[in-house]
A and B are shown apart, each in its own frame.
Chain A
C-alpha cells in the first residue's frame, strides 16, 4: 500500500523547516520549475476558457445574428432561471444525478459487501462486475437503446415474451421502454455503468478496515448486523461520501447517455445537453454561456464538499506516514 507521503516522512514540516533556503533565489525556482509547465498548461486550457464563458454570458449574442451582439448585463441569467425549457433541464439534471447516485451507492455497497468475503472465483466475479464500466459510454448507451430497450426485438421485451411463453401467455406486454419511461431508461443505463465504480471505491474502503477490530467484535459476540452498523458503516462513511460526491460530479456532467438514448427528447435534456444544444444548434452563445456558468456554480457547491472529503482522506494518509 502506498502512502501519500511515503519516503518523505516530514510531510508538512519539510517545506517550512527550511523556509529561507526555499523561499527565495534560484534554488526556489529550480524547485518550482518542474511544476510550471503543467500548471501553466492547465490554467491556459481550462481557466481562460471559463473566464471567456463568463464574459460571453453577459452578452446578447446569437451567432446567426452577429451584428446584434450587445452587452446586456445579467439578462441571460434571468432567462436561464425563467426559461421553461432551461428550468426543466435543471430539474432533470437534479433528478438524473440524484437517481443515479443513490441507486449506484446502494447497489455498489451491496456488491462490495458480497465481494469483501472469500469465495470461489472472487477475482473472476470482480472482473465481470467491472465490465460495464469498461464499455465505451457511447457504446453502452447504444447497447441499451437498441439491443435492450428496443420494443420489437430488444432483450428486455424478448425476455418478457420468452417468460410469457413459458407460462402460456402468447401476447405478453411489450412496453416501449424509452417512450414510456424515458428518464428512468437513461437512469437505468447509467446505473448499470456507474455501479462498478461505486463498488470499487467502497470495496477499497472495506478492505482498508482493520481486520483485528472486526475479529474482536465477532469474539465479543456482535452479530453480523451489529458489526456492519457500528463498525463497518462508520468506517465506510468517508468512502460513501467520496463516492456520492465524485459520482455527482461525474453524473452532473453526463452528456453521452442523454445524447445517445433520447437525444434530449421526452423531458430528458439535462443541463450539459441543453447547453450543447443552445449553442450548437440554436447558436445562442450568450444564453448557453450563462447556463454554463450556472452549472459551474452548482458543481462548485458539490465539489467543495468533494474536495473536503478528498482532503480529509488525503491528510489522513499524509499523517499516517
Chain B
C-alpha cells in the first residue's frame, strides 16, 4: 500500500492519508452504485422474465414472487404453437453469413492498406469510413425498389449483402490496425517460399492476427443481429429477423410482460455473450478504430 513509501508519517500526514483513503472508498462505493443503477433495468428484465404473468404485472412490484420459466415456455410457443425459431434462425443466418463475407472482403483490403501499402492509403481508409456515416434511410428506398423488381424481397441473402456493406468499413478499420502488427518479414519469407496471396492471408496473416479478427467478427455479428430498419422494410414472413419478430410480438400476442421480458432476454443473449467477449475491442469498433 501507499503507506510503505512514507517511512514516518507525521500525525497530520497520517490524517490526510486516512481522509484520502476514506474518500477513495466512498468513490468506489459510488461507482458500484452507478454500475448497479445502470444495470437495474436489465436485471429487472431478467427478474420479470422469471415471474409468472400474474406476479410480473403488479404495482408495487413483487420482488420475491416465486420464480418460474413459464415466460420462456410461452415465448417458445408452449401455448400458442407460434415458435420464435424461424426469426431467430434467420437472424443467426443473416448475421453469420454477413460476418463471414465481411471478413473475406476486409482481410485482403486491410492487407493492402497495412502491409502492402497502396498509394494514398489514408484516403482509401477515409472513404471506407465516410460510407459508414451515410444515413441508412438515404439509400433504403432504391434498395427496396431494386429488391422488389429483382424478386429479392423477404430474402435473407439481401440482408446478408446489406449487413456486409454496413459492417465492412468498421471491419476494414479495425483489421487494418491489427494487421499492422504482423511482421512484414514473416510475410516476405512466405512469399519467397512461393506462397501466393490467398495462401499468405490464410496461412500466415490470419493466424497471427487471430484475436483481432475474432473481435472484429464479434462486433460485426452484434451489429447485424441488432439491425431493425433494413429487416423491417425488406423482409416479411419468410426472412423475418428476431428484432422484427420482437416488434410484432407485443401487438399480436397482447401484452404479457413476463413473456415479453423473456423474449427480450433470449434475443439479447447472443449479443451479451459476444459483447462481453469483445469488451476491450468494442470501443475500437464503435469509434471506427480511432480509439484503442
Name A's B-contacting residues (CB within 8 A): 1-8, 14-15, 19, 22-23, 28, 31-35, 37-39, 41-42, 45-50, 52-53, 56, 110-111, 114-115, 117, 119-122, 124-140, 142-144, 146-148, 150, 152-153, 155, 157-159, 161-162, 165, 174, 192, 195-197, 200-201, 204-205, 239, 242-243, 246, 249, 252-253, 255-256, 259-260, 271-272, 275-276, 279-280, 285, 288-289, 292-293, 295-296, 299-300, 302-303, 306-307, 309-311, 313-315, 317
Contacts and interface: CB of A to CB of B under 8 A. Distances in A.
Contacts of A31: 112, 116-118
Interface residues of B, number: 113
Contacts of A48: 142
A279 B48 contact: no
Nearest to B241: A138
A216 to B, nearest CB: 16
Taking chain A's interface residues, is the majority helix, strand, or loop, or is none over half, making it mixed? helix
B190 interface: no
Given A7-B180, A35-B124, A300 B133 contact: yes
Interface in B51-102: 56-61
Contact of B291 (A34, A37, A242): A242
A314 B290 contact: yes
A296 B105 CA distance: 26
A139 B267 contact: yes
Interface of B: 24-25, 27-28, 30-32, 34-36, 38-39, 41-42, 44-45, 48, 56-61, 105-106, 108-109, 111-122, 124-131, 133-146, 161-162, 164-165, 168-169, 172, 176-178, 180-184, 197, 201, 222, 225-226, 228-229, 232-233, 242-243, 246-247, 250, 255, 257, 260-261, 263-265, 267-268, 271-272, 275-276, 279, 282-283, 286-292
A110 to B, nearest CB: 8
Taking chain B's interface residues, is the majority helix, strand, or loop, or is none over half, making it mixed? helix
A81 B198 CA distance: 52
Nearest to B29: A119
**Max chain A CB contacts within 10 Å: which of B36, B119, B233?**
B119
Nearest to B42: A131
Contact of A38 (B28, B41, B168): B168
A310 B286 CA distance: 12
A127 B45 CA distance: 17
Question: Closest 10 CB pairs between A and B?
Answer: A119-B28, A49-B139, A6-B180, A34-B108, A52-B142, A139-B264, A134-B275, A45-B165, A38-B109, A128-B35
Contact of B35 (A14, A117, A125, A136): A125
Contacts of B272: 131, 134-135
Contacts of A307: 126, 129-130, 133
Given A122-B31, A255-B136, A299-B134, 20 more contacts: A2-B178, A15-B119, A38-B105, A42-B165, A46-B131, A52-B141, A52-B142, A121-B32, A131-B42, A134-B271, A135-B42, A138-B226, A138-B247, A155-B44, A158-B61, A165-B60, A246-B286, A292-B139, A303-B133, A307-B133
Contact of B135 (A2, A159, A285, A295): A295
Given A134-B268, A135-B42, A56 B133 contact: no
